Structure 1
Amino acid sequence: MKPTINNIYFPTLTAVQEAATTLKNVAAVTPLQQNFNLSNTYKANILLKREDLQQVRSYKIRGAYNKINSLSREELENGIVCASAGNHAQGVALACRKKESYGTIYMPAPTPKQKVEQVRMFGGDFVTIKLVGDTFDDAYNEARKESDKEGKVFIHPFDDEKVIEGQGTVGLEIIEQSNDTVDYVFVPVGGGGLVSGLSSVFKHLSPSTKVIGVEPSGAPSMKLAIESSENLKLDKIDKFVDGAAVQQVGALTHKICIENLYDMVTVPEGKVCQTILEMYNKEAIVVEPAGALTVSALDFFKEELAGKNVVCVVSGSNNDITRTAEIKERALLYNGLKHYFIIRFPQRAGALKEFVMNVLGEKDDITFFEYSKKTTRENGPAVVGIELEKSDDLAPLIQRMKDLNFFGEYLNDKPNLFEFLV
């Protein structure tokens, strides 16, 4: 019998405890660390659950191994298949190696080489990687085809009972490691496997704890599904927070989250980028975008958290170093420090010097400049990116541009043009 309430599956405490036993010597019991900077900022006891310190640098090994370990010898011998753009693939690869079962892992063709190599390293000769399509959905559809055609077990990244129960062991560890009652737990949400398992554990062992799910603003699939009570599929999402950007959450996880969560919030991608930079600069902690979601959400609950015991699950650290420039750019844009304009330069000598000397503020910096001289026009347009010291400097800057007849157009609020720059 499956554990159900009103025909809805919920992980039992026993099932999660059995998963914890299964995961001994496979998944690390990651530390629950107090963070002094965050605690001082929010006047609360802020603890970080460091799932970024797993061998595969995310919590995904928990659910993947718990699922694969539950398969029969016949199923293992027939092979397994999964689809993933990163962390789930690494968890499945390591689980295949440990169980000596052959797996085929489908990944989108644009997946960064570093992530592909990590999957190959963890899986060794036990995995075959197939790069197909442009998106996760393309890879998912191909994986499903192979699963159906070959009769191989498909290891779902989140909407599976054994996967949910494996991820729930994060909640068990938090309760075991906490010296006091946990008042709040912030959990990143993509498809919902982690938050479903964790919140179910807290329902059993610490029902007063408020579990808050956190999604990126560009992919609010769980928030919309809860608000509408219907598991809608989003037509379009921002894939930047790739570990938590899904078009549709799980059927199982959706129903669990409706019952279990205290709140479901979204965080702008730019704020996530700011958190990534702050955690690296202040704490020497490397987090991927999904891993920074929970810390990013604290600002929205600042008054509510004062004096409380708060846990943020830092879900992973598989951050591609080639994204650093984009992360910095998005953070500056979010904080109102980076702005793009079309500037109309008079076609005469000294115009650029006049712009630099009389328009730019003393600490303003040109970070992007693209200009094509048109000799048949009085004014030559240039696309100019400017970084400010303070966001309040924007209005005076625009006014000086207008007063001296340089202003052409502000581009930050024109997405169809802006996407070519960022």
Structure 2
Amino acid sequence: MIISEKYFPKLQDINRAKITLNGIILQTPLQKNLNLSDEFQANVFLKREDLQIVRSYKIRGAYNKIAQLPESELEKGVVCASAGNHAQGVAYSCRLLGIDGKIYMPATTPKQKIKQVKMFGKSHVEVVLIGDTYDDAHNMALEDSKKTGMVFIHPFDDPQIIEGQATVGLEILQDTKENIDYIFIPIGGGGLAAGVGAYFKQMSPQTKIIGVEPAGAPSMQKSFDAGKVVELQKIDKFVDGAAVQKVGSLTYDVCRDVLSDIIPVPEGKICTKILELYNQDAIVIEPAGALSIAALDFYKDQIKGKNVVCIVSGSNNDITRTEEIKERSMLYEGLKHYFIVRFPQRTGALRTFVDVVLGPTDDITHFEYSKKTNREKGPALIGIEVQKPEDYKGLVKRMEENGFIYEYINEKEDLFQLLI
């Protein structure tokens, strides 16, 4: 869509989107979270978009866009690209409106999300898995749209998508009588941040609007730094719902006007928060859904005593990722360490390591060793879990005191990815 003048979401269009979505979406709860409120000495409210019909906010923008297409375009069907949540929103919209849809998803998309897309769309959608990133799927969907005439439904860079997502902000202000001091909004392509941010800027101008990105895919922050939209050449795809190489041009312009700050959150920190929310509150969320809450630690001094809203954007997590989530959390928290240790090839060397080097609460969780009879020393790959981050120093000190030559590989990204 070509916009003749600089686009900024209007209140009348956001209100119209809310009317369009009546009876289609849930008005998800705004809940005060006692654990987070106690931890940060603030009033922390969670906007629970993880409880939405398709378990993310994406149905708002998708349905708002598709429902307003003219009949002549609906007859041709729609096509989109998505890492999962937008795909589910489009699929469910196609089913509700009785139209055909074709959905391109990266081949790396968790199986759970693929299954959900098919479930929500039923016979109305076709799923095509292609490429390694969202951008690969995006390019193929655009090509298909040109060939077939199907309308391309952009996941974020479209006015009606942005206005649909903005209804999250409308509901937040409807559901609280409190003045909101801070709102934390996850950013992938920027549709949610642009929509909610624009609504708050007009209706609650005193609120500080904080965007939150995964540190491994800070596409909006890098664009802000460059003063224009830039494309990242390499991203960490772990936070698949927000791992975008290039934000939208519309969303970039709006976010420049409305965001007070952008916080990049390390993926390991996000994993820690996912586990905490599950263990403490029985809330199951995906990595992108935990972004806004994980950012609170970086604003703990500013939000003390304030009213704070975090948008929990989605809960489409694949249970098979649990072990990776635990691993990333422990690495980030300094509780798991990997070494290449060169053992003297003599009887009892390993026993010495276990008896003398390991502390009383240290645990070997990974061990690979091949004895080489023609060498004096044999390398072993060892993963060690400690109870407290400070236990690491004692572990390293005992290795050095007992003559064990080692290489620490946690911080050597290429070697770590190859071996672990």
Please classify the TM superposition score into its range, dividing by the shorter chain length.
over 0.9
Name whichever of 402-411 and 87-96 sits farther off. Answer: 402-411
Match of 2:412 in 1: 414
Kindly state the Cα deviation for residue 113 of structure 1 after the two structures are TM-superposed: 2.3
The correspondence for 1:149, drawn from 147, 160, 181, is 147
Kindly state the Cα deviation for residue 231 of structure 1 after the two structures are TM-superposed: 0.5
Name whichever of 249-258 and 337-346 sits farther off. Answer: 337-346
Question: For residues 88 and 190 of structure 1, what CA distance do their matches in structure 2 show?
Answer: 11
The correspondence for 2:73, drawn from 71, 75, 87, is 75
Match of 1:354 in 2: 352
Contact 1:398 1:407 in 2 (8 A): no
1:97-108 to 2 correspondences below 5 Å? 97-108=95-106
1:234-282 deviations in Å (ceiling 9; x for gaps): 1111111111111110000000011111111110111000000000000
The correspondence for 2:292, drawn from 294, 298, 301, is 294
Contact 1:273 1:328 in 2 (8 A): yes
Kindly state the Cα deviation for residue 228 of structure 1 after the two structures are TM-superposed: 2.1
Match of 1:89 in 2: 87
In the alignment, structure 1 residue 26 sits paired with structure 2 residue 24:
yes
Match of 2:240 in 1: 242
Contact 1:106 1:130 in 2 (8 A): yes
Question: For residues 300 and 132 of structure 1, what CA distance do their matches in structure 2 show?
Answer: 37
Question: For residues 245 and 128 of structure 1, what CA distance do their matches in structure 2 show?
Answer: 23
Kindly state the Cα deviation for residue 420 of structure 1 after the two structures are TM-superposed: 2.1
Contact 2:135 2:244 in 1 (8 A): no
Unaligned runs of 5+ in 1: none
Question: For residues 67 and 154 of structure 1, what CA distance do their matches in structure 2 show?
Answer: 10
Secondary structure at 1:243 match in 2:
coil
Question: For residues 62 and 242 of structure 1, what CA distance do their matches in structure 2 show?
Answer: 19
Contact 1:3 1:12 in 2 (8 A): no
Name the amino acid aligned to 1:180. Answer: E
Secondary structure at 1:419 match in 2:
helix
Name the amino acid aligned to 1:400. Answer: R
The correspondence for 2:392, drawn from 391, 394, 400, is 394
Match of 1:175 in 2: 173
Name the amino acid aligned to 2:72. Answer: E
Match of 1:365 in 2: 363
Structure 1 outlier segments of 4+, above 4 Å: none
Question: For residues 101 and 43 of structure 1, what CA distance do their matches in structure 2 show?
Answer: 49
In the alignment, structure 1 residue 207 sits paired with structure 2 residue 198:
no
Kindly state the Cα deviation for residue 340 of structure 1 after the two structures are TM-superposed: 0.5
Name the amino acid aligned to 2:169. Answer: G
1:394-413 deviations in Å (ceiling 9; x for gaps): 12211111121223211112
Name the amino acid aligned to 1:259. Answer: D
Secondary structure at 2:189 match in 1:
coil
Name the amino acid aligned to 2:389. Answer: S
Kindly state the Cα deviation for residue 134 of structure 1 after the two structures are TM-superposed: 2.6
Question: For residues 401 and 378 of structure 2, what CA distance do their matches in structure 1 show?
Answer: 18
Match of 1:405 in 2: 403
Name whichever of 66-75 and 403-412 sits farther off. Answer: 403-412
Contact 2:186 2:212 in 1 (8 A): yes
Secondary structure at 1:48 match in 2:
strand
Question: For residues 240 and 91 of structure 1, what CA distance do their matches in structure 2 show?
Answer: 21
Contact 1:3 1:10 in 2 (8 A): no
Percentage identity across paired residues of the two chains: 60
1:14-413 to 2 correspondences below 5 Å? 14-413=12-411
Secondary structure at 1:242 match in 2:
coil
TM-score by length of 2: 0.98
Alignment length (residue pairs): 419
Name the amino acid aligned to 2:79. Answer: V
1:128-162 deviations in Å (ceiling 9; x for gaps): 11112232222111111110111111000000000
1:155-199 deviations in Å (ceiling 9; x for gaps): 000000000000000000000001211111000000000010001
Name the amino acid aligned to 1:417. Answer: L
Kindly state the Cα deviation for residue 390 of structure 1 after the two structures are TM-superposed: 1.0
TM-score by length of 1: 0.97
Secondary structure at 2:418 match in 1:
coil
Question: For residues 240 and 248 of structure 1, what CA distance do their matches in structure 2 show?
Answer: 16
Contact 1:287 1:318 in 2 (8 A): yes
1:186-224 deviations in Å (ceiling 9; x for gaps): 000000000100011112211111110000101111011
Name the amino acid aligned to 1:266. Answer: P
Secondary structure at 1:168 match in 2:
helix
Secondary structure at 1:240 match in 2:
coil
Name whichever of 171-180 and 340-349 sits farther off. Answer: 340-349
Name the amino acid aligned to 1:304. Answer: Q
Question: For residues 91 and 71 of structure 2, what CA distance do their matches in structure 1 show?
Answer: 18
Kindly state the Cα deviation for residue 3 of structure 1 after the two structures are TM-superposed: 9.4
Contact 1:226 1:257 in 2 (8 A): no
Contact 2:189 2:248 in 1 (8 A): yes
CA RMSD, Structure 1 to Structure 2 (Å): 1.2
Kindly state the Cα deviation for residue 86 of structure 1 after the two structures are TM-superposed: 0.6
Name whichever of 184-193 and 141-150 sits farther off. Answer: 141-150
Contact 1:344 1:405 in 2 (8 A): no
1:34-74 deviations in Å (ceiling 9; x for gaps): 00111111111000000000111000000000000010111
Kindly state the Cα deviation for residue 415 of structure 1 after the two structures are TM-superposed: 1.2
Secondary structure at 2:135 match in 1:
helix
Contact 1:3 1:11 in 2 (8 A): no
Name the amino acid aligned to 2:205. Answer: P
Contact 2:99 2:124 in 1 (8 A): yes
